[in-house]
Chain A
Amino acid sequence: MKLTLRVWRQQNPETPGAMATYEVDNISADMSFLEMLDTLNEELTLAGDEPVAFDHDCREGICGACSLVINGDAHGPERTTTCQLHMRSFADGDTIDIEPWRASAFPVIKDLVVDRSSFDRIIQSGGYISAPTGTAPDAHATPVPKPDADFAFEHAECIGCGACVAACPNGSAMLFTSAKVNHLNVLPQGAPERETRVLDMVAQMDEEGFGGCTLTGECATACPKGIPLPSIAAMNKEWLRATRKVRR
Protein backbone atom coordinates (compact mmCIF):
# COMPACT_ATOMS: atom_id res chain seq x y z
CA MET A 1 0.00 0.00 0.00
CA LYS A 2 1.04 3.55 -0.65
CA LEU A 3 -0.27 6.19 1.72
CA THR A 4 -0.12 9.91 2.35
CA LEU A 5 0.14 10.80 6.02
CA ARG A 6 -0.63 14.17 7.48
CA VAL A 7 0.92 14.15 10.92
CA TRP A 8 0.82 16.68 13.76
CA ARG A 9 4.36 17.85 14.49
CA GLN A 10 5.07 19.94 17.56
CA GLN A 11 8.56 20.45 18.97
CA ASN A 12 7.55 21.02 22.59
CA PRO A 13 4.64 22.25 24.70
CA GLU A 14 5.58 25.90 24.13
CA THR A 15 6.01 25.93 20.35
CA PRO A 16 2.86 25.83 18.22
CA GLY A 17 2.49 22.73 16.06
CA ALA A 18 1.31 22.11 12.50
CA MET A 19 0.43 19.23 10.20
CA ALA A 20 3.27 17.86 8.07
CA THR A 21 2.81 15.63 5.03
CA TYR A 22 4.73 12.40 4.40
CA GLU A 23 4.46 9.59 1.88
CA VAL A 24 4.93 5.95 2.88
CA ASP A 25 5.18 3.05 0.49
CA ASN A 26 5.26 -0.77 0.69
CA ILE A 27 2.90 -0.89 3.65
CA SER A 28 1.49 -4.37 4.21
CA ALA A 29 -2.19 -4.70 5.06
CA ASP A 30 -1.21 -6.96 7.96
CA MET A 31 0.90 -4.25 9.63
CA SER A 32 -0.49 -2.59 12.69
CA PHE A 33 -0.95 1.17 12.55
CA LEU A 34 2.05 1.62 14.85
CA GLU A 35 4.23 -0.63 12.68
CA MET A 36 3.31 1.61 9.77
CA LEU A 37 4.51 4.60 11.82
CA ASP A 38 7.69 2.68 12.72
CA THR A 39 8.35 2.35 9.00
CA LEU A 40 7.94 6.09 8.54
CA ASN A 41 10.22 6.77 11.51
CA GLU A 42 13.00 4.52 10.24
CA GLU A 43 12.93 6.45 6.96
CA LEU A 44 12.87 9.82 8.71
CA THR A 45 15.78 8.84 10.97
CA LEU A 46 17.94 7.71 8.07
CA ALA A 47 17.14 10.93 6.21
CA GLY A 48 18.42 12.83 9.26
CA ASP A 49 14.97 14.08 10.31
CA GLU A 50 13.51 13.63 13.74
CA PRO A 51 11.13 10.67 13.90
CA VAL A 52 7.52 11.31 14.88
CA ALA A 53 7.15 10.91 18.65
CA PHE A 54 4.23 8.70 19.67
CA ASP A 55 3.36 6.69 22.77
CA HIS A 56 3.23 2.90 22.81
CA ASP A 57 4.15 0.11 25.12
CA CYS A 58 2.47 -3.32 25.11
CA ARG A 59 1.16 -3.20 21.53
CA GLU A 60 -1.35 -5.81 22.68
CA GLY A 61 -4.24 -3.51 23.53
CA ILE A 62 -3.83 -3.84 27.28
CA CYS A 63 -1.69 -0.98 28.58
CA GLY A 64 -3.44 2.13 27.28
CA ALA A 65 -0.26 3.91 26.16
CA CYS A 66 -1.04 4.28 22.47
CA SER A 67 -3.14 7.33 21.78
CA LEU A 68 -3.73 8.71 18.31
CA VAL A 69 -6.61 10.57 16.74
CA ILE A 70 -6.82 9.03 13.28
CA ASN A 71 -8.95 10.76 10.68
CA GLY A 72 -10.71 12.56 13.50
CA ASP A 73 -11.49 9.44 15.56
CA ALA A 74 -9.77 8.52 18.81
CA HIS A 75 -7.95 5.21 18.06
CA GLY A 76 -9.15 5.38 14.45
CA PRO A 77 -12.01 3.77 12.54
CA GLU A 78 -12.25 0.42 14.39
CA ARG A 79 -13.38 -0.01 17.94
CA THR A 80 -9.99 -0.90 19.36
CA THR A 81 -6.72 0.61 20.52
CA THR A 82 -4.41 2.19 17.95
CA CYS A 83 -1.90 -0.64 18.39
CA GLN A 84 -4.56 -3.20 17.49
CA LEU A 85 -5.69 -1.27 14.43
CA HIS A 86 -4.36 -2.82 11.24
CA MET A 87 -3.63 -1.28 7.89
CA ARG A 88 -6.25 -3.49 6.23
CA SER A 89 -8.72 -0.94 7.59
CA PHE A 90 -7.34 1.51 5.02
CA ALA A 91 -7.10 1.47 1.24
CA ASP A 92 -4.14 1.94 -1.05
CA GLY A 93 -3.73 5.62 -1.90
CA ASP A 94 -5.55 6.87 1.22
CA THR A 95 -4.61 10.10 2.95
CA ILE A 96 -4.61 9.63 6.73
CA ASP A 97 -4.65 12.42 9.30
CA ILE A 98 -2.85 11.63 12.56
CA GLU A 99 -3.19 13.91 15.57
CA PRO A 100 -2.61 13.71 19.33
CA TRP A 101 -5.39 13.55 21.95
CA ARG A 102 -6.71 17.06 22.23
CA ALA A 103 -7.85 18.29 25.65
CA SER A 104 -6.52 21.05 27.85
CA ALA A 105 -5.99 18.53 30.66
CA PHE A 106 -3.73 16.55 28.28
CA PRO A 107 -1.05 19.03 27.14
CA VAL A 108 1.09 17.97 24.17
CA ILE A 109 4.64 17.01 25.15
CA LYS A 110 5.88 16.46 21.63
CA ASP A 111 4.24 15.56 18.30
CA LEU A 112 1.67 12.89 19.15
CA VAL A 113 2.65 12.39 22.79
CA VAL A 114 0.48 14.00 25.43
CA ASP A 115 0.88 14.26 29.19
CA ARG A 116 -1.77 12.09 30.85
CA SER A 117 -0.49 12.43 34.41
CA SER A 118 -3.81 14.09 35.27
CA PHE A 119 -5.28 10.54 35.08
CA ASP A 120 -2.63 9.31 37.51
CA ARG A 121 -3.58 12.02 39.96
CA ILE A 122 -7.25 11.05 39.73
CA ILE A 123 -6.27 7.46 40.54
CA GLN A 124 -4.03 8.60 43.39
CA SER A 125 -6.91 10.54 44.91
CA GLY A 126 -9.03 7.41 45.45
CA GLY A 127 -8.45 4.60 42.98
CA TYR A 128 -7.07 2.20 45.57
CA ILE A 129 -8.16 0.15 48.52
CA SER A 130 -6.47 0.34 51.88
CA ALA A 131 -6.18 -3.16 53.19
CA PRO A 132 -4.19 -4.50 56.09
CA THR A 133 -1.49 -6.79 54.76
CA GLY A 134 -0.24 -9.71 56.77
CA THR A 135 -1.36 -13.26 56.36
CA ALA A 136 -3.14 -13.81 53.10
CA PRO A 137 -6.87 -14.36 53.72
CA ASP A 138 -8.46 -17.52 52.39
CA ALA A 139 -9.73 -17.12 48.86
CA HIS A 140 -13.33 -17.65 49.94
CA ALA A 141 -13.18 -15.38 53.00
CA THR A 142 -14.87 -12.48 51.20
CA PRO A 143 -17.74 -13.69 49.04
CA VAL A 144 -18.61 -11.54 46.05
CA PRO A 145 -21.89 -12.17 44.21
CA LYS A 146 -21.32 -13.02 40.56
CA PRO A 147 -23.26 -10.01 39.18
CA ASP A 148 -21.11 -7.70 41.33
CA ALA A 149 -17.93 -9.43 40.24
CA ASP A 150 -19.00 -9.08 36.60
CA PHE A 151 -19.86 -5.41 37.09
CA ALA A 152 -16.49 -4.76 38.74
CA PHE A 153 -14.68 -6.63 36.03
CA GLU A 154 -16.43 -4.77 33.24
CA HIS A 155 -15.16 -1.51 34.72
CA ALA A 156 -11.74 -2.86 35.60
CA GLU A 157 -11.22 -3.31 31.89
CA CYS A 158 -10.56 0.42 31.51
CA ILE A 159 -6.92 0.80 30.47
CA GLY A 160 -6.72 4.53 31.13
CA CYS A 161 -5.96 5.41 27.53
CA GLY A 162 -7.90 8.68 27.50
CA ALA A 163 -9.79 8.10 24.25
CA CYS A 164 -12.99 9.03 26.07
CA VAL A 165 -11.56 12.46 26.84
CA ALA A 166 -10.22 12.90 23.32
CA ALA A 167 -13.58 12.00 21.80
CA CYS A 168 -15.65 14.21 24.11
CA PRO A 169 -16.53 17.67 22.77
CA ASN A 170 -16.20 18.94 26.37
CA GLY A 171 -12.92 17.11 27.10
CA SER A 172 -14.63 15.40 30.02
CA ALA A 173 -13.07 12.51 31.94
CA MET A 174 -16.34 11.21 33.35
CA LEU A 175 -16.20 7.81 31.64
CA PHE A 176 -12.67 7.10 32.85
CA THR A 177 -13.39 8.26 36.40
CA SER A 178 -16.65 6.34 36.54
CA ALA A 179 -14.89 3.15 35.41
CA LYS A 180 -12.41 3.47 38.24
CA VAL A 181 -14.99 4.40 40.87
CA ASN A 182 -17.49 1.68 39.89
CA HIS A 183 -14.82 -1.01 39.73
CA LEU A 184 -13.91 -0.60 43.40
CA ASN A 185 -17.14 0.74 44.88
CA VAL A 186 -19.14 -2.39 44.07
CA LEU A 187 -16.68 -4.74 45.77
CA PRO A 188 -16.55 -5.47 49.52
CA GLN A 189 -12.81 -4.69 49.43
CA GLY A 190 -13.62 -1.19 48.24
CA ALA A 191 -16.34 -0.53 50.80
CA PRO A 192 -14.31 1.28 53.50
CA GLU A 193 -13.55 4.17 51.13
CA ARG A 194 -16.75 3.96 49.12
CA GLU A 195 -17.82 7.54 49.83
CA THR A 196 -14.46 9.32 50.00
CA ARG A 197 -13.35 7.58 46.83
CA VAL A 198 -16.08 9.00 44.61
CA LEU A 199 -15.98 12.45 46.20
CA ASP A 200 -12.19 12.76 46.02
CA MET A 201 -11.84 11.37 42.52
CA VAL A 202 -14.54 13.62 41.11
CA ALA A 203 -13.02 16.63 42.89
CA GLN A 204 -9.58 15.79 41.48
CA MET A 205 -11.07 15.35 38.02
CA ASP A 206 -12.56 18.86 38.21
CA GLU A 207 -9.34 20.30 39.50
CA GLU A 208 -7.38 18.89 36.56
CA GLY A 209 -9.45 20.98 34.17
CA PHE A 210 -11.49 18.26 32.48
CA GLY A 211 -14.78 19.51 31.08
CA GLY A 212 -18.25 18.79 32.39
CA CYS A 213 -20.41 15.95 31.13
CA THR A 214 -23.41 16.72 28.93
CA LEU A 215 -24.13 13.04 28.24
CA THR A 216 -23.15 13.37 24.59
CA GLY A 217 -22.01 9.74 24.61
CA GLU A 218 -19.00 10.12 22.31
CA CYS A 219 -16.80 8.68 25.07
CA ALA A 220 -18.56 5.31 25.16
CA THR A 221 -18.44 5.10 21.36
CA ALA A 222 -14.68 5.68 21.32
CA CYS A 223 -13.78 3.52 24.31
CA PRO A 224 -11.75 0.53 23.08
CA LYS A 225 -12.77 -1.49 26.13
CA GLY A 226 -16.50 -0.97 25.84
CA ILE A 227 -17.00 0.90 29.12
CA PRO A 228 -20.73 1.68 28.78
CA LEU A 229 -22.31 5.12 29.05
CA PRO A 230 -24.54 4.12 32.05
CA SER A 231 -21.29 3.89 34.08
CA ILE A 232 -21.48 7.65 34.35
CA ALA A 233 -25.01 7.44 35.77
CA ALA A 234 -23.83 4.79 38.24
CA MET A 235 -21.04 7.09 39.38
CA ASN A 236 -23.42 10.04 39.72
CA LYS A 237 -25.59 7.87 41.93
CA GLU A 238 -22.59 6.97 44.06
CA TRP A 239 -21.65 10.62 44.29
CA LEU A 240 -25.14 11.69 45.40
CA ARG A 241 -25.25 8.94 47.97
CA ALA A 242 -21.85 9.97 49.28
CA THR A 243 -22.71 13.66 49.61
CA ARG A 244 -25.67 12.72 51.78
CA LYS A 245 -23.65 10.32 53.88
CA VAL A 246 -20.42 12.19 54.41
CA ARG A 247 -20.31 15.46 56.28
CA ARG A 248 -17.13 17.29 55.50
Chain B
Amino acid sequence: MTCGSVRFGGFRTACRDERDYYLERIYPAFGNLVPRDIASRAAKNVCDEGRGVGPGGQGVYLDFAEAIQRMGRKAVEAKYGNLFDMYQRITDEDPYTVPMRIYPAVHYTMGGLWVDYDLQTTIPGLFAIGEANFSDHGANRLGASALMQGLADGYFVLPSTINDYLARNPHTDTVDAAHPAVAEAVAETEDRINLLLSVDGDRTPDSFHREIGELMWEYCGMARTDDGLRKALARIPEIREEFWRRIKVPGTGEQFNQSLEKANRIVDYLELAELMCLDALHRAESCGGHFREESQTPDGEAERRDEEFSYAAAWEFTATGGAPVLHKEDLVFEYVHPTQRSYA
Protein backbone atom coordinates (compact mmCIF):
# COMPACT_ATOMS: atom_id res chain seq x y z
CA MET B 1 0.00 0.00 0.00
CA THR B 2 1.18 3.58 -0.01
CA CYS B 3 4.01 4.90 2.11
CA GLY B 4 1.40 6.93 4.00
CA SER B 5 -0.20 3.85 5.49
CA VAL B 6 3.06 2.08 5.93
CA ARG B 7 4.25 4.99 8.09
CA PHE B 8 1.23 4.77 10.28
CA GLY B 9 2.42 1.97 12.44
CA GLY B 10 0.38 -0.47 14.39
CA PHE B 11 0.40 -2.90 11.52
CA ARG B 12 2.91 -5.72 11.38
CA THR B 13 4.66 -7.17 8.37
CA ALA B 14 4.96 -10.94 8.17
CA CYS B 15 5.82 -13.75 5.80
CA ARG B 16 4.63 -17.33 5.54
CA ASP B 17 6.53 -19.17 8.24
CA GLU B 18 4.24 -19.13 11.26
CA ARG B 19 3.81 -15.39 11.08
CA ASP B 20 7.47 -14.48 11.02
CA TYR B 21 7.21 -10.76 11.75
CA TYR B 22 10.50 -10.32 9.95
CA LEU B 23 10.84 -6.54 10.21
CA GLU B 24 10.47 -6.71 13.98
CA ARG B 25 12.97 -9.52 14.04
CA ILE B 26 15.60 -7.81 11.87
CA TYR B 27 15.15 -4.23 13.08
CA PRO B 28 14.06 -4.61 16.69
CA ALA B 29 14.44 -0.90 17.48
CA PHE B 30 12.29 0.33 14.59
CA GLY B 31 10.34 -2.76 13.61
CA ASN B 32 7.58 -1.92 11.19
CA LEU B 33 8.53 1.75 11.00
CA VAL B 34 11.75 1.24 9.07
CA PRO B 35 12.05 3.41 5.94
CA ARG B 36 10.40 2.02 2.89
CA ASP B 37 13.57 1.13 1.00
CA ILE B 38 14.47 -1.24 3.84
CA ALA B 39 10.92 -2.57 4.16
CA SER B 40 10.68 -3.14 0.40
CA ARG B 41 14.02 -4.86 0.12
CA ALA B 42 13.17 -7.11 3.04
CA ALA B 43 9.83 -8.01 1.43
CA LYS B 44 11.49 -8.96 -1.85
CA ASN B 45 14.13 -10.96 0.01
CA VAL B 46 11.67 -13.14 1.90
CA CYS B 47 9.77 -13.76 -1.35
CA ASP B 48 13.00 -14.57 -3.22
CA GLU B 49 13.72 -17.08 -0.45
CA GLY B 50 10.43 -18.76 -1.33
CA ARG B 51 8.68 -17.62 1.86
CA GLY B 52 6.16 -15.32 0.20
CA VAL B 53 2.41 -15.69 0.51
CA GLY B 54 -0.48 -15.89 -1.95
CA PRO B 55 -0.65 -17.40 -5.42
CA GLY B 56 2.79 -17.10 -7.02
CA GLY B 57 4.39 -16.38 -3.66
CA GLN B 58 4.96 -12.73 -4.51
CA GLY B 59 3.62 -11.20 -1.35
CA VAL B 60 4.00 -10.62 2.37
CA TYR B 61 1.31 -9.97 4.93
CA LEU B 62 0.50 -6.55 6.25
CA ASP B 63 -1.34 -7.35 9.44
CA PHE B 64 -3.67 -4.69 10.82
CA ALA B 65 -5.25 -6.93 13.47
CA GLU B 66 -3.40 -5.32 16.35
CA ALA B 67 -4.02 -1.79 15.10
CA ILE B 68 -7.72 -2.49 14.72
CA GLN B 69 -7.83 -3.88 18.22
CA ARG B 70 -5.93 -0.94 19.66
CA MET B 71 -7.50 1.96 17.74
CA GLY B 72 -10.88 0.43 17.04
CA ARG B 73 -12.22 -0.33 13.60
CA LYS B 74 -13.83 3.12 13.32
CA ALA B 75 -10.54 4.99 13.67
CA VAL B 76 -8.80 2.74 11.16
CA GLU B 77 -11.73 3.18 8.80
CA ALA B 78 -11.64 6.96 9.05
CA LYS B 79 -7.96 7.00 8.27
CA TYR B 80 -7.62 4.27 5.70
CA GLY B 81 -11.13 3.30 4.64
CA ASN B 82 -10.49 4.45 1.09
CA LEU B 83 -7.36 2.36 0.81
CA PHE B 84 -8.99 -0.67 2.34
CA ASP B 85 -11.90 -0.38 -0.10
CA MET B 86 -9.48 -0.27 -3.02
CA TYR B 87 -7.70 -3.33 -1.68
CA GLN B 88 -10.93 -5.22 -1.25
CA ARG B 89 -11.99 -4.36 -4.78
CA ILE B 90 -8.75 -5.65 -6.23
CA THR B 91 -8.34 -8.82 -4.18
CA ASP B 92 -11.89 -9.64 -3.09
CA GLU B 93 -10.55 -10.06 0.46
CA ASP B 94 -11.62 -8.04 3.49
CA PRO B 95 -8.51 -6.37 4.95
CA TYR B 96 -10.33 -5.73 8.24
CA THR B 97 -10.46 -9.47 8.89
CA VAL B 98 -7.76 -11.02 6.66
CA PRO B 99 -4.20 -9.63 6.60
CA MET B 100 -3.40 -7.68 3.44
CA ARG B 101 -0.94 -9.14 0.97
CA ILE B 102 1.56 -6.62 -0.33
CA TYR B 103 4.62 -6.55 -2.55
CA PRO B 104 6.84 -3.62 -3.51
CA ALA B 105 6.49 -2.11 -6.97
CA VAL B 106 8.40 0.55 -8.86
CA HIS B 107 6.37 3.71 -9.17
CA TYR B 108 9.02 6.36 -9.20
CA THR B 109 12.64 6.65 -10.20
CA MET B 110 14.96 9.20 -8.73
CA GLY B 111 16.71 11.24 -11.36
CA GLY B 112 15.54 12.52 -14.73
CA LEU B 113 16.47 15.04 -17.37
CA TRP B 114 19.29 17.37 -16.44
CA VAL B 115 18.08 20.94 -15.98
CA ASP B 116 19.68 24.16 -14.85
CA TYR B 117 18.35 26.31 -11.99
CA ASP B 118 15.73 27.72 -14.35
CA LEU B 119 14.60 24.15 -15.08
CA GLN B 120 15.78 24.42 -18.67
CA THR B 121 17.27 21.32 -20.30
CA THR B 122 20.33 21.31 -22.52
CA ILE B 123 18.00 22.10 -25.42
CA PRO B 124 17.34 25.85 -25.33
CA GLY B 125 13.67 26.54 -24.75
CA LEU B 126 12.88 23.02 -23.58
CA PHE B 127 11.96 23.11 -19.90
CA ALA B 128 11.39 19.94 -17.87
CA ILE B 129 9.40 20.12 -14.66
CA GLY B 130 8.07 17.69 -12.08
CA GLU B 131 9.07 14.05 -12.09
CA ALA B 132 10.67 14.41 -15.52
CA ASN B 133 13.68 16.32 -14.21
CA PHE B 134 16.40 15.41 -11.72
CA SER B 135 16.37 18.58 -9.71
CA ASP B 136 14.50 18.37 -6.42
CA HIS B 137 15.04 14.93 -4.99
CA GLY B 138 18.41 13.46 -4.28
CA ALA B 139 19.23 9.80 -4.16
CA ASN B 140 16.05 9.13 -2.25
CA ARG B 141 12.61 10.66 -2.24
CA LEU B 142 10.61 11.32 0.88
CA GLY B 143 7.26 9.55 1.10
CA ALA B 144 4.35 11.07 -0.83
CA SER B 145 6.45 13.92 -2.20
CA ALA B 146 6.48 13.26 -5.96
CA LEU B 147 3.54 15.65 -6.15
CA MET B 148 5.59 18.22 -4.27
CA GLN B 149 8.05 18.32 -7.13
CA GLY B 150 5.32 18.92 -9.69
CA LEU B 151 3.76 21.62 -7.55
CA ALA B 152 7.00 23.34 -6.59
CA ASP B 153 8.33 23.38 -10.14
CA GLY B 154 5.06 24.34 -11.76
CA TYR B 155 3.73 26.76 -9.18
CA PHE B 156 6.81 28.45 -7.78
CA VAL B 157 9.88 27.94 -9.94
CA LEU B 158 8.80 27.98 -13.55
CA PRO B 159 6.56 31.08 -13.33
CA SER B 160 9.62 33.04 -12.22
CA THR B 161 12.14 31.55 -14.61
CA ILE B 162 10.43 30.94 -17.93
CA ASN B 163 9.56 34.62 -18.29
CA ASP B 164 13.23 35.42 -18.57
CA TYR B 165 13.46 33.08 -21.53
CA LEU B 166 10.26 34.38 -23.11
CA ALA B 167 11.24 38.01 -22.51
CA ARG B 168 14.15 37.54 -24.87
CA ASN B 169 11.57 36.82 -27.55
CA PRO B 170 13.41 33.80 -28.89
CA HIS B 171 10.83 32.85 -31.51
CA THR B 172 10.72 35.69 -33.94
CA ASP B 173 11.10 33.35 -36.90
CA THR B 174 9.35 30.04 -37.27
CA VAL B 175 11.62 27.26 -38.37
CA ASP B 176 11.24 26.33 -42.02
CA ALA B 177 10.22 22.75 -42.78
CA ALA B 178 13.13 22.58 -45.20
CA HIS B 179 15.64 23.39 -42.47
CA PRO B 180 18.21 20.57 -42.48
CA ALA B 181 17.65 19.82 -38.79
CA VAL B 182 13.90 19.44 -39.35
CA ALA B 183 14.43 17.28 -42.43
CA GLU B 184 16.85 15.11 -40.49
CA ALA B 185 14.49 14.65 -37.52
CA VAL B 186 11.53 13.86 -39.78
CA ALA B 187 13.54 11.38 -41.85
CA GLU B 188 14.89 9.67 -38.73
CA THR B 189 11.38 9.32 -37.27
CA GLU B 190 9.88 8.08 -40.52
CA ASP B 191 12.64 5.54 -40.95
CA ARG B 192 12.14 4.23 -37.45
CA ILE B 193 8.36 3.96 -37.86
CA ASN B 194 8.67 2.23 -41.23
CA LEU B 195 11.19 -0.19 -39.84
CA LEU B 196 8.97 -1.01 -36.84
CA LEU B 197 6.05 -1.69 -39.15
CA SER B 198 8.03 -3.75 -41.62
CA VAL B 199 9.79 -6.24 -39.31
CA ASP B 200 6.58 -8.28 -38.95
CA GLY B 201 8.17 -10.66 -36.46
CA ASP B 202 6.63 -12.96 -33.87
CA ARG B 203 6.82 -11.00 -30.58
CA THR B 204 4.47 -8.31 -29.31
CA PRO B 205 5.59 -4.94 -27.88
CA ASP B 206 4.16 -5.99 -24.49
CA SER B 207 6.31 -9.10 -24.37
CA PHE B 208 9.45 -6.96 -24.72
CA HIS B 209 8.15 -4.45 -22.20
CA ARG B 210 7.71 -7.26 -19.70
CA GLU B 211 11.11 -8.75 -20.41
CA ILE B 212 13.01 -5.49 -19.90
CA GLY B 213 10.90 -4.72 -16.85
CA GLU B 214 11.77 -8.03 -15.23
CA LEU B 215 15.42 -7.61 -16.05
CA MET B 216 15.50 -4.15 -14.48
CA TRP B 217 13.54 -5.27 -11.43
CA GLU B 218 15.99 -8.09 -10.83
CA TYR B 219 19.30 -6.36 -11.52
CA CYS B 220 18.68 -2.64 -11.32
CA GLY B 221 15.91 -2.59 -8.73
CA MET B 222 15.98 -2.20 -4.98
CA ALA B 223 19.31 -4.03 -4.52
CA ARG B 224 22.10 -3.99 -7.09
CA THR B 225 25.43 -5.76 -7.45
CA ASP B 226 28.38 -5.28 -9.77
CA ASP B 227 27.79 -8.73 -11.14
CA GLY B 228 24.06 -8.29 -11.69
CA LEU B 229 24.43 -4.91 -13.36
CA ARG B 230 27.03 -6.29 -15.74
CA LYS B 231 24.65 -9.12 -16.58
CA ALA B 232 21.90 -6.61 -17.37
CA LEU B 233 24.28 -4.50 -19.44
CA ALA B 234 25.22 -7.57 -21.45
CA ARG B 235 21.59 -8.59 -21.87
CA ILE B 236 20.11 -5.26 -23.01
CA PRO B 237 21.95 -5.12 -26.37
CA GLU B 238 20.81 -8.70 -26.98
CA ILE B 239 17.21 -7.75 -26.28
CA ARG B 240 17.60 -4.72 -28.56
CA GLU B 241 18.91 -6.92 -31.35
CA GLU B 242 16.06 -9.36 -30.83
CA PHE B 243 13.56 -6.52 -30.71
CA TRP B 244 14.52 -5.26 -34.16
CA ARG B 245 14.42 -8.80 -35.53
CA ARG B 246 11.23 -10.12 -33.93
CA ILE B 247 8.93 -7.18 -33.15
CA LYS B 248 5.44 -7.32 -34.59
CA VAL B 249 3.51 -4.08 -35.01
CA PRO B 250 0.17 -4.48 -36.79
CA GLY B 251 -1.59 -1.60 -38.55
CA THR B 252 -0.10 1.40 -40.31
CA GLY B 253 1.65 4.63 -39.44
CA GLU B 254 -1.10 6.63 -41.08
CA GLN B 255 -3.55 6.59 -38.19
CA PHE B 256 -3.96 6.15 -34.44
CA ASN B 257 -1.95 3.02 -33.65
CA GLN B 258 -1.39 2.03 -30.02
CA SER B 259 0.93 -0.87 -30.90
CA LEU B 260 3.21 1.48 -32.77
CA GLU B 261 3.15 3.87 -29.85
CA LYS B 262 4.15 1.08 -27.45
CA ALA B 263 6.90 -0.17 -29.75
CA ASN B 264 8.35 3.35 -29.92
CA ARG B 265 8.30 3.61 -26.13
CA ILE B 266 10.19 0.32 -25.90
CA VAL B 267 12.90 1.69 -28.15
CA ASP B 268 13.21 4.51 -25.58
CA TYR B 269 13.01 2.12 -22.65
CA LEU B 270 15.95 0.09 -23.94
CA GLU B 271 18.03 3.26 -24.05
CA LEU B 272 16.97 4.42 -20.59
CA ALA B 273 17.38 0.96 -19.04
CA GLU B 274 20.92 0.76 -20.37
CA LEU B 275 21.77 4.17 -18.96
CA MET B 276 20.27 3.37 -15.56
CA CYS B 277 22.34 0.19 -15.31
CA LEU B 278 25.48 2.01 -16.39
CA ASP B 279 24.93 4.73 -13.82
CA ALA B 280 24.16 2.21 -11.09
CA LEU B 281 27.31 0.25 -11.97
CA HIS B 282 29.61 3.26 -11.84
CA ARG B 283 28.26 4.39 -8.45
CA ALA B 284 29.98 1.78 -6.31
CA GLU B 285 28.44 3.12 -3.11
CA SER B 286 25.00 2.78 -1.56
CA CYS B 287 23.04 5.96 -1.33
CA GLY B 288 19.30 6.51 -0.82
CA GLY B 289 17.28 4.34 -3.18
CA HIS B 290 20.47 3.05 -4.78
CA PHE B 291 21.57 0.09 -2.70
CA ARG B 292 24.73 -1.68 -3.77
CA GLU B 293 25.05 -4.95 -1.91
CA GLU B 294 28.86 -4.62 -1.91
CA SER B 295 28.56 -1.36 0.00
CA GLN B 296 26.74 -2.00 3.24
CA THR B 297 27.54 -1.71 6.92
CA PRO B 298 27.82 -4.87 9.03
CA ASP B 299 24.17 -4.46 10.07
CA GLY B 300 22.98 -4.27 6.46
CA GLU B 301 22.56 -0.51 6.15
CA ALA B 302 23.39 1.40 2.98
CA GLU B 303 27.01 2.52 3.23
CA ARG B 304 27.73 5.91 1.70
CA ARG B 305 31.12 6.79 0.25
CA ASP B 306 30.88 10.54 0.10
CA GLU B 307 34.60 11.15 -0.52
CA GLU B 308 34.25 9.47 -3.91
CA PHE B 309 30.64 9.92 -4.92
CA SER B 310 29.32 13.19 -3.57
CA TYR B 311 28.18 14.38 -6.98
CA ALA B 312 25.17 14.20 -9.28
CA ALA B 313 25.99 12.19 -12.37
CA ALA B 314 24.74 13.85 -15.55
CA TRP B 315 25.17 11.60 -18.57
CA GLU B 316 25.43 13.12 -22.01
CA PHE B 317 23.81 11.13 -24.80
CA THR B 318 26.08 10.32 -27.72
CA ALA B 319 24.43 7.57 -29.74
CA THR B 320 22.06 4.64 -29.19
CA GLY B 321 24.14 1.85 -27.69
CA GLY B 322 27.13 4.24 -27.62
CA ALA B 323 28.95 5.23 -24.44
CA PRO B 324 27.42 8.31 -22.79
CA VAL B 325 29.76 10.94 -21.35
CA LEU B 326 29.73 11.49 -17.58
CA HIS B 327 29.59 15.03 -16.22
CA LYS B 328 30.00 15.28 -12.46
CA GLU B 329 28.21 18.04 -10.60
CA ASP B 330 29.63 18.30 -7.12
CA LEU B 331 27.19 18.35 -4.25
CA VAL B 332 28.17 21.04 -1.79
CA PHE B 333 26.61 20.90 1.67
CA GLU B 334 26.90 24.07 3.74
CA TYR B 335 24.73 23.47 6.77
CA VAL B 336 23.45 19.93 6.93
CA HIS B 337 25.90 17.23 5.99
CA PRO B 338 25.04 13.72 4.87
CA THR B 339 25.67 11.10 7.52
CA GLN B 340 25.43 7.37 7.79
CA ARG B 341 21.85 6.33 8.49
CA SER B 342 21.42 3.70 11.18
CA TYR B 343 18.27 1.90 12.19
CA ALA B 344 19.91 -0.91 14.02
Q: Which A residues contact B (CB, under 8 angstroms)?
A: 11-12, 30, 32, 38, 41-42, 44-46, 48-51, 53, 60-61, 78, 80, 84, 86, 88, 109-110, 113, 133, 136
Contact = CB atoms under 8 A, between A and B. Distances in A.
Contacts of A44: 250
B256 A53 contact: yes
B335 interface: no
Residue in A38, A48, A133, A136 with the greatest tally of chain B CB atoms within 10 Å: A133
Contact of B204 (A45, A84, A109, A113): A45
B214 interface: no
Interface in B192-242: 202, 204, 206-207
Contacts of A11: 255
A44 B160 CA distance: 50
The 5 A-B pairs at the shortest CB distance, nearest first, are namely A110-B256, A45-B204, A50-B250, A50-B251, A133-B159
B160 A133 contact: yes
A109 B251 CA distance: 15
Given A45-B248, A133-B156, A133-B159, A86 B255 contact: no
A80 B90 CA distance: 11
Contacts of A32: 90
Contact of B92 (A12, A60, A86, A136): A86
Interface string B238-263: 00000000001011000111110000
B250 A45 contact: yes
B86 interface: yes
A84 B255 contact: no
A38 B256 contact: no
Residue in B91, B155, B159, B259 with the greatest tally of chain A CB atoms within 10 Å: B259
A46 B160 CA distance: 51
B89 interface: yes
Contacts of A109: 256
B152 to A, nearest CB: 9
Given A45-B248, A86-B90, A53 B258 contact: yes
30 contacts: A11-B255, A12-B255, A12-B256, A30-B92, A32-B90, A42-B206, A42-B207, A44-B250, A45-B204, A45-B248, A45-B250, A46-B202, A46-B204, A46-B248, A48-B248, A49-B250, A50-B251, A51-B258, A80-B89, A84-B86, A84-B89, A84-B90, A86-B92, A88-B92, A109-B256, A110-B255, A133-B155, A133-B159, A133-B160, A136-B156
Contacts of B255: 11-12, 110
A88 to B, nearest CB: 6
A171 B25 CA distance: 58
Nearest to A53: B258
Interface string B74-108: 00000000000010011110000000000000000
Contacts of B251: 50
A50 B251 CA distance: 6
Contacts of A30: 91-92
A77 B251 CA distance: 32
A88 B91 CA distance: 10
Interface string B147-176: 000000001100110000000000000000
Nearest to B91: A30
Contacts of A133: 155-156, 159-160
B202 A113 contact: no
Contacts of A86: 89-90, 92
A41 B250 CA distance: 11
Contacts of B91: 30
B92 A42 contact: no
Nearest to A61: B86
A46 B250 CA distance: 9
Contacts of A46: 202, 204, 248
Contacts of B86: 60-61, 84
A45 B206 CA distance: 10
Residue in A42, A44, A53, A84 with the greatest tally of chain B CB atoms within 10 Å: A53
Contacts of B160: 133
A148 B202 CA distance: 57
Nearest to A47: B250
